[in-house]
Structure 1
Amino acid sequence: MTSINEDSSSDNERKVSYILNLLGKKVPTSKENDDNDDKDEDYEDIMTDEDIYTLDSLQQLIASVYNSKSRFNPELNSRDEYTSQTTDTQYETELSILESFKDHPNEQFLQQQHLKYIKGSLHSQFPSYFSALDANHSWMLLWLLNGFKVIKQNDQSLSPETIELINNKIESCIIDEGRGGISGGANQIGHVASTYAAILTLILTKNYTLLEKLRNNLYSWFLSLKKPDGSFVMHKNGESDARSIYCVLAVSSLLNTLTDELLLGLESWLNSCQTFEGGFSGVPKTEAHGGYTYCAVASYFILFSKKSKICFDLDALIRWSVFRQYSIEGGLSGRTNKLVDACYSFWIGALYPMIEVLVGEHDMFNRDGLKTYILKAAQNFDKGGFRDKPGKSTDFYHTNYTLCGLSLCEYKYKSFSDDDSEEELAYRFQLDNDNDNGNDSDYKNTNPINPIFGLPINDINEAKKHFIKLSKPI
């Protein structure tokens, strides 16, 4: 008869073996297993001896890339001796990025290549594999047009023919003059996210005439999507999350159609999405994520005109946000234990100026480190545009949001004070030249953006000034 202790010991061994199997590592449990040359097919090492990188070799590579004069001097974080597929992938990513740093020692912004990439994309017929993005026409236009306008250049305008093509494409996606929202492409239903992208695109083309025709109909459509808990579904019978709330608030705020009925229940719903880590999840009781956190925090800036009204756990948000920047790469990740990705230069990068203006701090992140990652690892050095990381393909999405992230590295904003202003916090971002990175003589590669909307700050201010004159819906 087997004893209870023997059963417990055997059970623990099975648990340990199961966990090790998930991690892809074989650890012998006895001397007999140590001497067994037969390879157990259930336990395959995920790395060979040749693939294992020592801390010393990684430190040597860091030393070869950086010197005492570098603006960004990363240090090797203390690491556990324990390894897994996650840690191995992280080490490999660090090495590939450091190699890219080494291959591109100068932080050169390839302005002409990026402009050529964007202009060419606006006028080219896309290959067949773009059919996967057939529901994202408004998004692709936003990414390309906004990326073009964020780049600082002498001529900030596109040809009238190009602007007309963009406006015509957006118009083709409007459903029943806005009563059914705006779709992402032909034969698609109205979608809140596609509507958000389309409205921002029309703001960039300054098509205020069309926007005025749409504003009240879109307001009614948004109300039809509102749920009893305060949130909004993305489309009829669709999902609701922090994205849908942010998109509705952003569009309604810019078009001056925010009402108490539209805002009912939003604050409490957003509060329920903050996780124990400090970031925000898409829906309550799930994992904190960079994109959802951006949408949630930006929404508070639209909801309130005084920072004292914001009641989420700011200290926890700060802790979670600063841990998103990695010391070796300089780039940002979207979640705990995930790899850096250039798109988070905006989704997480925009959180930093939001926090900075709330707490009166100008250095919530290492701007030089993020800029190094963007210019040395995320650029496509041959054809222009930006990518997730070395080894990934260039695309419109990463090009736009990486350029926005670069802008956030190059500018700082003045802190907010709780004065008598009734203007939403979202529109109170002003450049703080006294605490800027460098001085006026330093060349900036980008134009400053408004962190809440991700558009050039001048375009946002102009749109707000135009629509503030119009009456709110009844």
Structure 2
Amino acid sequence: MIDENLNPAIVEKRNEKLVKYLRQTLCVLPSAVITLDTSKVLLAYFAVSGLDILNKLDQLPHSRESLIDWIYNHQISETICGIDIGICGFRGSTTLVTDKIKNVQNHEYDCSHLTMTFSALNALLTLGDDLSRINKKAILTSIQALQLLDGSLTATSQDYENDVRFLYSACCICYILNDWSFIDIERAYSFLLSCMTYEGAFGQNPEAEAHGGSTFCAVASLFLMNKLNSLSKYQIFRLKQWCLNRQATGFSGRVNKPWDTCYSFWIGSTLKILGVLHFTSFPENINYIFETYNYVTGGFAKWPDCNPDPLHTYMGICGLSLVDYPSFEKIHPAMAISQRAFNHLKNLHQKWSENIY
């Protein structure tokens, strides 16, 4: 099976279908994923970055300039309806589905979301934007307002759910904007430690079950905050052991759960950050990911014989990139963007330090 998956002619044909699927994600959503309409910025990030990793960014269905302008249209950076909500960044969509589609832009409940802000910034970097239109101070001040006393963060000003996902989003934003002064790193570190379970990995919250997605968010956050080495050698050993034990053919996200395409990224990137991905079986992982591939529409699904969706398609592409799949651009394991986009970010950091912008 691995020989077929690495055959150049088959690779090219599958990539063409993947490109078609990602292009469609940037146009009209199929009815099966219409509930994601309120997260269109996230979908744009999956599609744009997916095309970049496939080295097909020249096949965008829209011009880069129009996509960049569309993303900036989701930025909130000032008082809304006379109410200074203090929560700025990027919204996921400019529409809200109720009894009919209503435009909620500039409504008092129109607010940013940490994950949408992170997604917007990643998409802009991938498209080569210089981030000059970002209201950096407004976004960072909002992150400061969203951090709770235990070090965790809520996603929005209207939602008090807090867990490692939103801490990870905040860490990515601070890393991109090259400013950590608006987040209490020590409290954030303490919160992450409280999420480490008896199994050796991380749960979504304290006392939760260890989970592959939560473990990635925690490990990537520690890496970006330069706190990963603050864990003890024993903690690192158990963390590596738990992650390595998640592979059967593909990877599972929890103990005694079936493997799932997205964990080829969540667990794979965690192992890459920890420097032990090479101890896994690349061929078995590749074979499993392609068991979930849809030969009609393109795209990857959660499990074999299921419909593909944008999240698992992007996670599948990233998982393949991690294991050196031919023709794919390398990804940065903590930031979940191509190494090319990450290098563009580092160039921006250099220019900012030289006060060019």
TM-score by length of 1: 0.64
Partner in structure 1 of residue 180 of structure 2: 258
- Which amino acid counterpart does residue 122 of structure 1 have in structure 2? L
Q: Which SS does the other structure have where 1:458 is aligned?
A: helix
The reply to whether residue 365 of structure 1 matches residue 269 of structure 2 is no
The reply to whether residue 217 of structure 1 matches residue 132 of structure 2 is no
The reply to whether residue 446 of structure 1 matches residue 349 of structure 2 is no
* 1:164 positional shift: 3.0
Using the alignment, how far apart are the partners of 1:208 and 1:262 within structure 2?
27
The reply to whether residue 403 of structure 1 matches residue 310 of structure 2 is no
Q: 1:230 pairs with 136, 139, 151, which one?
A: 151
1:8-407 equivalence runs, <5 A: 108-109=10-11, 110-123=14-27, 125-152=28-55, 156-158=57-59, 161-176=62-77, 180-186=88-94, 187=104, 188-211=110-133, 213-236=134-157, 237-259=159-181, 261-304=183-226, 308-311=229-232, 313-326=235-248, 330-356=249-275, 361=276, 363-375=278-290, 377-407=291-321
Using the alignment, how far apart are the partners of 1:406 and 1:117 within structure 2?
17
* 1:172 positional shift: 2.4
Using the alignment, how far apart are the partners of 2:187 and 2:138 within structure 1?
22
Using the alignment, how far apart are the partners of 2:116 and 2:62 within structure 1?
23
Q: Once the two structures are superposed, what CA deviation does each residue of 1:398-419 show, in whole Å capped at 9, x if it has no partner?
A: 11110000011117xxxxxxxx
Q: Once the two structures are superposed, what CA deviation does each residue of 1:436-460 show, in whole Å capped at 9, x if it has no partner?
A: xxxxxxxx13110000011111211
Q: Once the two structures are superposed, what CA deviation does each residue of 1:51-73 show, in whole Å capped at 9, x if it has no partner?
A: xxxxxxxxxxxxxxx8xxx78xx
- RMSD of equivalent CA atoms: 2.5
Instruction: Give the number of equivalent residue pairs.
Output: 327
- Which amino acid counterpart does residue 315 of structure 1 have in structure 2? F
Partner in structure 2 of residue 80 of structure 1: none
Conserved? CA contact 1:448–1:457, under 8 Å: yes
* 1:128 positional shift: 4.7
- Which amino acid counterpart does residue 303 of structure 2 have in structure 1? K
Using the alignment, how far apart are the partners of 1:196 and 1:260 within structure 2?
16
- Which amino acid counterpart does residue 216 of structure 1 have in structure 2? K
Conserved? CA contact 2:212–2:254, under 8 Å: yes
Partner in structure 1 of residue 100 of structure 2: none
Using the alignment, how far apart are the partners of 1:202 and 1:106 within structure 2?
32
1:424-443 equivalence runs, <5 A: none
Per the alignment, do residues 152 and 128 of structure 1 end up closer, same or farther by CA in structure 2, a change over 3 Å counting? closer
Using the alignment, how far apart are the partners of 2:288 and 2:69 within structure 1?
37
- Which amino acid counterpart does residue 118 of structure 1 have in structure 2? L
Partner in structure 2 of residue 5 of structure 1: none
Q: Once the two structures are superposed, what CA deviation does each residue of 1:184-234 show, in whole Å capped at 9, x if it has no partner?
A: 1123421111111111111111222445x3222110110111111222111
Using the alignment, how far apart are the partners of 2:33 and 2:67 within structure 1?
18
Per the alignment, do residues 129 and 117 of structure 1 end up closer, same or farther by CA in structure 2, a change over 3 Å counting? closer
Unaligned runs of 5+ residues in structure 1 are 1-65, 72-103, 412-443
TM-score by length of 2: 0.84
- Which amino acid counterpart does residue 289 of structure 2 have in structure 1? I
**Which structure has the larger Rg?**
1
- Which amino acid counterpart does residue 183 of structure 1 have in structure 2? R
Q: Once the two structures are superposed, what CA deviation does each residue of 1:120-161 show, in whole Å capped at 9, x if it has no partner?
A: 3323x33455441122111110111111111145xx424594
The share of aligned pairs that are identical, in percent, is: 28
Per the alignment, do residues 362 and 277 of structure 1 end up closer, same or farther by CA in structure 2, a change over 3 Å counting? closer
* 1:247 positional shift: 0.5
Using the alignment, how far apart are the partners of 1:456 and 1:207 within structure 2?
15
Using the alignment, how far apart are the partners of 1:121 and 1:351 within structure 2?
27
Higher alpha-carbon deviation: 269-278 or 174-183? 174-183
- Which amino acid counterpart does residue 397 of structure 1 have in structure 2? L
Conserved? CA contact 2:251–2:263, under 8 Å: yes
- Which amino acid counterpart does residue 216 of structure 2 have in structure 1? Y
Q: Once the two structures are superposed, what CA deviation does each residue of 1:265-318 show, in whole Å capped at 9, x if it has no partner?
A: 11111111110111100111111111110000001111117x643447111111
Conserved? CA contact 2:268–2:277, under 8 Å: no
Conserved? CA contact 2:204–2:211, under 8 Å: yes
Unaligned runs of 5+ residues in structure 2 are 79-85, 95-103, 105-109
Conserved? CA contact 2:143–2:182, under 8 Å: no
